[in-house]
Amino acid sequence: FFFISIMFHASFVICFTICFILLVALQLYNNSVIKKRHSIIIKYFEEQNKTAKAIQIIQLLQEDFPALFTKKPKAKKALKIGIYKELIPWARENKFALNYLDEALHLWTTGKRYRNALETGKRYDLKGNQVN
């Protein structure tokens, strides 16, 4: 019985230690994500150039909606019709002027990678799911 008690205690300590390590790792990861997000937002508010602000918005779109706004070298996905209206609350929550969101979407949808996405005939929502 004593041996079982010691084994149970040791298992508890090991499980507790693993959970603690995982919790610390998760917190460090969250802090790095938050810091990256804040640096992008700060750059947005410091920037005066319209195109540069739009690029900052695209970077945040890539952070918040990675399944839809993919990073190179992945192929772009064609945005569903009406995605702008769905992004308005997101832009307001992040305190972005809507004209810069419009510019960001214009930049995103311009170029060969996006034309290739349109040629597939598939469009995607904010979660990266294909829609009709």
DSSP string, 14-43: HHHHHHHHHHHHHHHHHHHHHHHHHHHHHH
**Nearest-angstrom CA–CA distance, 16 and 117:** 48
Tell me, what's the pLDDT at 110? 92
pLDDT in tens, 83-118: 999 999 999 998 888 999 999 999 999 999 999 999
Instruction: Write down the H helix ranges in 47-111.
Output: 50-64, 83-93, 98-108
**Nearest-angstrom CA–CA distance, 55 and 96:** 12
Tell me, what's the pLDDT at 77? 96
In the three-class reduction of DSSP (H, G, I as helix; E, B as strand; rest coil), residue 70 is classed as coil
**Nearest-angstrom CA–CA distance, 45 and 52:** 10
In degrees and rounded to multiples of 5, residue 124 shows phi and psi of: -135, 150
pLDDT in tens, 7-49: 666 777 787 788 788 887 777 776 676 777 767 777 766 666 7
Helix (H) or strand (E) holding 59: helix 50-64
